[in-house]
Chains A and B, each alone.
Chain A
Amino acid sequence: MTSQAATVGIQEKSGMDPKKLGVWTASVGIWFLPLLWIDPTTYAVLTVAGLAMGMLIFLTASGLTLIFGLMDVLNLAHGAFFVWGAYVGFSLLNALQKIGWVEGAGAAQSIGSVMLCLLAALVVGGIMGIVLEKMLVRLTYGSHLKQILITMGASLILVEVLKVVWSPNDEVVIVPQAFQGSWDVMDVIVTKFRVVAIVVGLAVLAGIQLVMMRTKLGIIVRAGVENKEVVETLGYNIRRVFTGVFCAGAALAAVGGTMWSIFKEQIHPAMGEENLIFALIVVIIGGMGSVTGSFLGAIMVGLAFNYVAYTLPPLALGANIMIMAVILLIRPTGLMGKD
């Protein structure tokens, strides 16, 4: 019995049989396919744009997938955290503009403004998450229908309140000086803020992985995803862990909103719902509950959206839904989902 288990362990480690290798090569190779009809320079620009977009979607999707994996809660109010984060960042940028930290600001001030905006969004999103979880979501554990209805309702109210507090119209977001414009890397135009988005996305991924893999809290959360009852009988208040994860997820979505607003240089109240669609696609592609899966899914969606939007603009969103459908056909639980 012992030796059998040992063999299994060794096989898991050596991994990569030829078939698996083929699948991986094909799935990476497919992203070079657009080179057949898009010239390399444009392809490079689109790739950077796609990666940046993917990273930003990942910020929203990572929280969504954790909340689903751990709490089995489908949170459709996630888009509301996103849009509130965007507006908080927008207002703070306007305020910082008055002291000259935005347009015409130096590099340090520009970085400072963006950091402050992200921090503000993090706090506002986190507080909204705690309140929503304690007031509403807590009442609906175990019933997906109730969760969908109540989080959808909360989302509508939050967006309406946002229209009252700010305005129902599109607003232009001013971008801190140091992040305006672009770099020219061998004829490839790289918009500066896209690079920032990629860096922030990677940092968040690294941060989440660090917490999940290296800390006790991470062990508790991963264990909770697998078996809540065992975690509870080992002496942990799983409800408190739920609130914490919901809070963190909401905060990440709000940070995503702020990043998105600077990325797009404009905001409007419906942007939360638009982003939620992408995030949901990403979470489903990646496998409900898997952060790494969400990251891969987000990159795929970001890249596909940009390649298709360049080739056949009306098909951009449809292409992503098609990717989702194909992946679900091959792997019904998503890329990294549990069986």
Chain B
Amino acid sequence: MAEAILSLERVHTYIEQHHILQGVDLSFMPGQATVLLGRNGAGKSTTLRTIMGLTPASSGSITLKSQAIQAMKPYEVAKLGVGFVPEDQAVLYTLSVEENFRLAMLTENESAWARMETIFELFPDMKKFWRSKAGVLSGGQKQMLAIARAFVNDHDLLLIDEPSKGLAPIVVDHLIESINHIKNHTTVILVEQNFYMASHVGVAYFILDDGRTVHQGLMADLVHDEGLKQKYLGIA
């Protein structure tokens, strides 16, 4: 079995006095799309934020490509090739779409602009609104921009936090299509409440509950496991 691109061992994270992650163990295989599932407040988003160093782990280890990253600052983690798409369409509203992309390009070279061509094919709206402020985009377009922005650097690993939140079903379908395209090139870790989206993107899954990893397996098995879905995800 190949070596994991990213693994978390007994990771604990506090936010102020709250003990959010209480021993999370995860490992992600390169080239695979993995979904983190669990109820609201299970610690899924905090797990992504802890990997990025935004809410640093208080104990435990996080290893990225055999390098310990648990003590690193967010910008250092990003420079190691980790793209992060935060929840709530976190694009920069006062910047134009173009500037959002330029900001995302750590090195503005030809290969970055060549990738822009692929991005334009995948997200034609980005080209259409190239000079507009990101603030005038619709919710779905903002989410596309946030994802496409993380794609521009040819990252090895992409962390995506609840991309489907607040989006219409038809937009979610487009998102699924785009992420499935992206996952051919890069390892994707997706936090998703929308089981429809999760099951159409993820190959492997982890279930978190109360800040702990409680279950893991392949998405193809989970889809038919009604008992497990009922117990941890509240879906019948």
The reply on B223 being an interface residue by CB < 8 A is: no
Task: Report A-chain residues with C-beta under 8 Å of the C-beta of B214.
Answer: none
**Contacts of B87-123 to chain A: CB distance below 8 A:** 90-95, 99, 102-104, 106, 108
Cα–Cα, bound, A94→B222 (Å) = 82
Q: A236 touching B99 by the CB < 8 A rule?
A: no
Closest to B102 in A: A219
Stretch at the interface among B27-35, B36-44, B132-140, B187-195: B132-140
Q: Verify A234–B54 contact, CB threshold 8 A.
A: no
How far in angstroms is the closest Cβ of chain A from B143? 12
B74 CB contacts on chain A under 8 angstroms: 229, 232-233
B95 touches A233 (CB 8 A): no
Contact A230 B136 (CB under 8 A): no
Of B78, B103, B128, which contacts A223 at CB under 8 A? B103
Main secondary structure of the interface of A (DSSP, over half): helix
For the complex, is B79 an interface residue (Cβ under 8 Å from A)? Answer: yes
Number of interface residues of A (CB under 8 A): 26
Cross-interface CB contact of B79 among A9, A225, A230, A235, cutoff 8 Å? A235
Taking a contact as CB atoms under 8 Å apart, the answer to whether B75 and A235 are in contact is yes
Q: What's the interface size class on B, roughly?
A: 35 or more
- The answer to whether A231 has its CB under 8 Å from any CB of chain B is yes
Give the Cβ gap from B91 to chain A, nearest Cβ, in Å. Answer: 8
B-side contacts of A9, CB under 8 Å: 129, 132, 136
> In whole Å, how far is B29's beta carbon from the nearest beta carbon of chain A?
23
Given contacts A12-B136, A220-B103, contact A234 B78 (CB under 8 A): yes
Q: Is A41 an interface residue, CB under 8 A from the partner?
A: no
22 contacts between A and B (CB under 8 A): A1-B171, A2-B125, A2-B128, A5-B132, A216-B102, A219-B99, A222-B92, A222-B95, A222-B99, A223-B99, A223-B103, A227-B92, A229-B74, A229-B90, A231-B103, A232-B78, A233-B54, A233-B77, A233-B84, A234-B78, A235-B153, A338-B94
Residue B20 CB within 8 A of the other chain = no
**Interface pair A226/B52, CB less than 8 Å apart:** no
- Determine if A234 and B103 form an interchain contact, defined as CB atoms under 8 angstroms apart: yes
Asked if B95 and A223 sit within 8 Å, CB to CB, the answer is yes
Q: Residue B141 at the A interface, CB < 8 A? A: yes
- CB of B103 within 8 A of CB of A2, answer no
Max chain A Cβ within 10 angstroms of own Cβ: one of B52, B54, B78, B93: B78
A237 on interface, CB distance cutoff 8 Å:
yes
Question: B95 touching A235 by the CB < 8 A rule?
Answer: no
Residue of B nearest to A8 (CB): B136
Q: Are A233 and B138 within 8 A (Cβ)?
A: no
Q: Which of chain A's residues have a CB closer than 8 A to the CB of B149?
A: 234
**Cβ contact within 8 Å between A226 and B92:** yes
In the complex, whether A205 has a CB less than 8 A from a CB of chain B is no
Q: Does A325 contact B (CB under 8 A)?
A: no
Q: Does A14 contact B (CB under 8 A)?
A: no
Instruction: Specify which chain A residues have a CB less than 8 angstroms from the CB of B102 in the assembled complex.
Output: 216, 219
Given contacts A1-B140, A216-B102, A222-B94, 13 further A-B contacts (CB under 8 A): A1-B171, A2-B128, A5-B129, A12-B136, A219-B99, A223-B103, A226-B95, A227-B92, A230-B86, A231-B103, A233-B77, A234-B106, A235-B75
CB of B92 within 8 A of CB of A223, answer yes
Q: How far, in angstroms, from A233 to B80 measured CA to CA in the complex?
A: 11
Q: Give every chain B residue within 8 A of A1 (Cβ-Cβ).
A: 138, 140-141, 168, 171
Query: How many angstroms from the CA of A222 to the CA of B102 in the assembled complex?
Result: 13
What residues on B are CB-neighbors of A234 within 8 Å? Answer: 75, 78, 103-104, 106, 149
Q: Tell me if A4 counts as interface (CB < 8 A to partner B).
A: yes
Residues of A within 8 A of B52 (CB): 233
Proximity bits, A219-263, B CB within 8 Å = 1, else 0: 110110111011111111110000000000000000000000000
A220 to B171, CA, bound (A): 30
Binary CB contact string for chain B from 50 to 77 against chain A (1 if under 8 A, 0 otherwise): 0010100000000000000000011101
Give 8 nearest A-B pairs by CB, closest first. Answer: A235-B78, A232-B74, A1-B138, A233-B84, A8-B136, A237-B75, A223-B92, A9-B132
